[in-house]
Structure 1
Amino acid sequence: MSVVFRQKLNIDFERLNEDIRLFPQVHPVTPDMKITHKGVSRLVMLDRYTFKDTEKITLTNGDFVVLTIKEDPKFPARGLGYIMDIDRESKKAKILVEEEFRGVLDDEEESSTGVIWRSLDVIEKPLELFYEQIAKRNATGLAAVEKTQEKRVEWTEKFYQELVNLNFIPAGRVLYGAGAGTDVTYFNCYVMPFVPDSREGISDHRKQVMEIMSRGGGVGTNGSTLRPRNTLARGVNGKSSGSVSWLDDIAKLTHLVEQGGSRRGAQMIMLADWHPDIIEFIISKMQNPRILRFLIENTNDETIKKHAKDKLNLTPLTMQEMAMYQGIVNYKHIPGLGGFSEAIIADAEEKLSTGGTYTVHNPEFLTGANISVCLTKEFMEAVESDSEYELRFPYVESYDKEEMRIYNEDWHKVGDVREWEKLGHKVRVYKKIQAKELWNLINICATYSAEPGIFFIDNANDMTNAKAYGQKVVATNPCGKVA
């Protein structure tokens, strides 16, 4: 690495190497290292994949750091900068933010100078500033399984050459975990088995999702085995709150579990097109009141109308607001007077017409996950033929004690109402809907809220090689979604 390049990075590499000696997992910077990446790729490498001094035992003035420069509860922004000063008493540091990251700063002085004060809790010191350091750590970690020192040395070099020449780039969790000596997963994404339809089963599923995400993995869940809303829960002489509410509970884990201090979790949650809660599921993430009103006014299906109305919230105008908007509209009828644009007048007319302001109920609902609908061949055939489609689920209300025992033991192993019926079990038709109505609902919501995605589950099972192992596709993980 040239002296000019070192100076451009504005980092004291001799001191950094002294710090690195305290961390046996990390390889020191050497003169031949040069791969830092650029722009977002550089930030992602430093933020997600590098080994860091998480306890900040070496943190001092002049250090290069990655930090949260904008602390927004929904959309925090990460960036890079240099420590100018540390106030240990208040646990804050003065940072000079690199110029390319200053655009997200709201404070005018911070944005112009790049100088900010931030809590030490949101500041991290990466010890690996070059991709070559990550590659060496990965190669050392992957070769550690070899039984002799000679073999470990041999395979460390082989792995390193493949990695450093970018012939092979591991998944992110491997880049982050291999050779780091941390208890994290080397797999990026997982798909869970079907969720058992019981409080205990849901709790176990939730626990596993939390454990996987805490170790860095993304998770895919198919909730089609959970009984629909208002279905009898005989054990407690009550009714189920429905699959969608339970899936929202699982999705909330994404906001709770922080993955190695580098990113929030990722989840994909799916529901089959035959599930009676499918309409509620599709509408649940719609954030656009106009589209909800459009659905109410244009659909022929009463269930779609109901769930769109349930999602929509109208805040009525106060008397003062009505007078204000009427005053604006009155300008339209007074020749020669200006002051309000056509857009402002049109907005006032709409407010008076609707009688208030529309928002959505539960705007945070299911936001911890991407959602997708598992589409079957039968549904797509019904769409093409413009015929009715049945929303169905095992008829648990009619099951006797023995049938419930079989349901509790086997339903989540099957996970498909079509297969369950073929096995001779009773199935209840909750609703018949024109397939095109449901198809249009999927497309409208996907167009205006980017969700739900679609997953052709029958096609996936027809083509998967998992059949050779006696397995089937249950869902996909966040990496495999189809939008």
Structure 2
Amino acid sequence: MSVSPETLSDGRAEIEFQDASLDIWDKKYRLKSKSGDVVDETIDDTYKRVARALADAEQGTDNRERWYREFLWALRRGVIPAGRITSNAGAQAYKPATSTINCTVSGTIGDSMHDILGKVHEAGLTLKAGCGIGYEFSTLRPKGAYVSGAGAYTSGPLSFMDIYDKMCFTVSSAGGRRGAQMATFDISHPDVMDFIRAKREDGVLRQFNCSLLITDDFVNAVRDEADWPLVFPVLETEADEVDLTDPKQVVWRDWPVQSGYVTDDEGLVACKIYKTVPAKRLWNMIMSSTYDFAEPGFILVDRINEQNNNWFVENIRATNPCVTADTRLHTQYGLVRAGDLYRSGEALEVTVDRRALGESARGCEQRSAVPVFMTSDDADVYRVTTEDGYEIEATEWHDFYTERGKLPLKELRDDDRLLVQSGKGQFGTQGSAELGVLLGLIAGDGQITHRGNDQIAAVINF
């Protein structure tokens, strides 16, 4: 259905804007020039600016005009885009360095001064463009840990969070928006109690929303009234300071960063146990702080990864699944190499096994997927081969569905049974049933041969 020009103004219930709404629009979203002169005379002018900017992404004048009408119709009837779109879309002539993206996530902050300060620089530019940004700070070593390069003891992640906090307060975010930051922190980090109590001190981390990364293991420990170990990875240079085989000193677990830390053959990182606390005591501390100060929040990180709609392209907080560029995927275009899909940038309809969606029945269905993107142009690649002869090449973090559940390649065992696609894939719109039969005959009972003079023939034996 396309919206006619007449319906853009007819049939709308006229509801007066409240004074507060007009004030927010004027201060946060109304486009003005450098000298303060008004560009958007009315809210409807803002709608038109946004609708025009969104429609200009389309190909062809007629298509752009059609979608301009569609977007304007929707905006006038209550559709509210994200704030950065309302503020910055179509405003390039007045603020060309701004973004229409509301929320971003920082790359993993490495445990070094170089990376900590480098991410501050990136965050400052991100905030300046009007975006909010989130970070995980539990990748930084705990307070009191020795830093051999400096010959001193670190002040811990919360002190470095204060640098980000002050930077956010200082940088003027585009469009009059106060800088927005999100800090996450692993529930097993040795400084987790300081993180929970941080907002109790007046003026501390006021430019942050703070949330804990809560795992299933922690929830189970609370239910069982068990002890909970607070841990941090062991550096390779510290390997001789702990007994890596003693479960009272070390636990092995997934970690966002592996470089420089002690790891095993399965890619798990050795984490030193700094201390152990009753899980229920930690839970009660969280509940008390949340009741008194409305923070920290909860991020059920295991649940998020299990229910993530983009499970086929990402593993939140950890890494992105990745196959090699020559891996063929079942799409609406047929079996196409991942590298070709990446170069095309096309949105995809992919074939998904129902068992990967949590169902018990076999078979496949089609699901919308984001375009293929490159996770790394220089990563170690491994070949997985089954007893039946199936092969796939992938990075160590690519997920496989097995009878033990979903596992990254690095955690696969020789005795694992992989779930192979149990239903029909997609073969595109080219070709025909007759061609399919012919190709099947050639593959099963024929051969391809050279006749000479650059002539190739297919021979079928009946």
TM-score (norm 1): 0.55
> What's the offset of the Cα at 1:231?
1.0
Give the Cα–Cα distance (whole angstroms) in 2 for the partners of residues 224 and 36 of structure 1: 48
2:378 maps to: none
Match of 1:46 among 9, 16, 26: 26
Relative to structure 1, the CA distance from residue 452 to residue 470 in structure 2 (aligned partners, 3 Å threshold; closer, same or farther) is closer
Per the alignment, in what secondary structure is the counterpart of residue 228 of structure 2? strand
Is the contact made by 2:30 and 2:46 (CA closer than 8 Å) also made in structure 1?
A: yes
Give the Cα–Cα distance (whole angstroms) in 2 for the partners of residues 474 and 251 of structure 1: 24
Match of 1:233 among 124, 131, 147: 147
1:392 maps to: 231
> What's the offset of the Cα at 1:225?
0.7
Is the contact made by 1:411 and 1:420 (CA closer than 8 Å) also made in structure 2?
A: no
> What's the offset of the Cα at 1:414?
6.1
Give the Cα–Cα distance (whole angstroms) in 2 for the partners of residues 34 and 174 of structure 1: 24
1:251 maps to: 165
Is the contact made by 1:222 and 1:474 (CA closer than 8 Å) also made in structure 2?
A: no
Is the contact made by 2:255 and 2:269 (CA closer than 8 Å) also made in structure 1?
A: no
Q: Does 1:459 align with 2:303?
A: yes
Per the alignment, in what secondary structure is the counterpart of residue 200 of structure 1? helix
Is the contact made by 2:29 and 2:175 (CA closer than 8 Å) also made in structure 1?
A: no
Q: Does 1:144 align with 2:56?
A: yes
Letter of the 1:44 partner, please give it: I
Give the Cα–Cα distance (whole angstroms) in 2 for the partners of residues 33 and 138 of structure 1: 22
Relative to structure 1, the CA distance from residue 448 to residue 228 in structure 2 (aligned partners, 3 Å threshold; closer, same or farther) is same
Give the Cα–Cα distance (whole angstroms) in 2 for the partners of residues 421 and 388 of structure 1: 28
Per the alignment, in what secondary structure is the counterpart of residue 200 of structure 2? coil
Give the Cα–Cα distance (whole angstroms) in 1 for the partners of residues 41 and 16 of structure 2: 7
**For 1:88-237, what aligned pairs fall within 5 Å after superposition?**
126-166=38-78, 168-181=79-92, 182-237=96-151
Give the Cα–Cα distance (whole angstroms) in 2 for the partners of residues 270 and 132 of structure 1: 39
1:367 maps to: 206
Give the Cα–Cα distance (whole angstroms) in 1 for the partners of residues 220 and 265 of structure 2: 20
Match of 2:198 among 280, 284, 288: 284
**For 1:49-68, what aligned pairs fall within 5 Å after superposition?**
49-56=29-36
Comparing 274-283 with 154-163, greater Cα deviation is found at 154-163
Give the Cα–Cα distance (whole angstroms) in 2 for the partners of residues 208 and 413 of structure 1: 19
Give the Cα–Cα distance (whole angstroms) in 1 for the partners of residues 318 and 127 of structure 2: 19
Per the alignment, in what secondary structure is the counterpart of residue 35 of structure 2? coil
Aligned length: 291
Relative to structure 1, the CA distance from residue 425 to residue 370 in structure 2 (aligned partners, 3 Å threshold; closer, same or farther) is closer
1:15-61 Cα offsets, whole Å, 9 max, x none, are xxxxxxxxxxxxxxxxx9977621332222121111013323xxxxx
Relative to structure 1, the CA distance from residue 36 to residue 132 in structure 2 (aligned partners, 3 Å threshold; closer, same or farther) is farther
Relative to structure 1, the CA distance from residue 370 to residue 270 in structure 2 (aligned partners, 3 Å threshold; closer, same or farther) is same
Per the alignment, in what secondary structure is the counterpart of residue 428 of structure 1? strand
Give the Cα–Cα distance (whole angstroms) in 2 for the partners of residues 424 and 179 of structure 1: 48
Match of 1:436 among 268, 275, 280: 280
Q: Does 1:469 align with 2:313?
A: yes
Per the alignment, in what secondary structure is the counterpart of residue 284 of structure 1? helix
Per the alignment, in what secondary structure is the counterpart of residue 57 of structure 2? coil
Unaligned 5+ segments in structure 2 are 1-11, 241-253, 320-462
**For 1:300-379, what aligned pairs fall within 5 Å after superposition?**
363-379=202-218
Give the Cα–Cα distance (whole angstroms) in 2 for the partners of residues 53 and 36 of structure 1: 27
Greater fraction of residues in helix: 1
Give the Cα–Cα distance (whole angstroms) in 1 for the partners of residues 114 and 128 of structure 2: 21
Identity %: 29
Give the Cα–Cα distance (whole angstroms) in 2 for the partners of residues 457 and 444 of structure 1: 21
Is the contact made by 1:35 and 1:131 (CA closer than 8 Å) also made in structure 2?
A: no
Per the alignment, in what secondary structure is the counterpart of residue 258 of structure 1? coil
Letter of the 1:153 partner, please give it: E
Is the contact made by 2:111 and 2:141 (CA closer than 8 Å) also made in structure 1?
A: yes
Give the Cα–Cα distance (whole angstroms) in 2 for the partners of residues 400 and 275 of structure 1: 19
Letter of the 1:365 partner, please give it: V
Unaligned 5+ segments in structure 1 are 1-31, 57-124, 288-362, 402-409, 476-483
Give the Cα–Cα distance (whole angstroms) in 1 for the partners of residues 26 and 141 of structure 2: 44
> What's the offset of the Cα at 1:460?
0.9
Q: Which has the higher contact order (CA 8 A, sep 6+)?
A: 1
Per the alignment, in what secondary structure is the counterpart of residue 310 of structure 2? helix
Give the Cα–Cα distance (whole angstroms) in 1 for the partners of residues 15 and 134 of structure 2: 34
Give the Cα–Cα distance (whole angstroms) in 1 for the partners of residues 122 and 100 of structure 2: 16
Letter of the 1:161 partner, please give it: W
Relative to structure 1, the CA distance from residue 157 to residue 398 in structure 2 (aligned partners, 3 Å threshold; closer, same or farther) is same
Give the Cα–Cα distance (whole angstroms) in 1 for the partners of residues 67 and 114 of structure 2: 46
1:266 maps to: 180
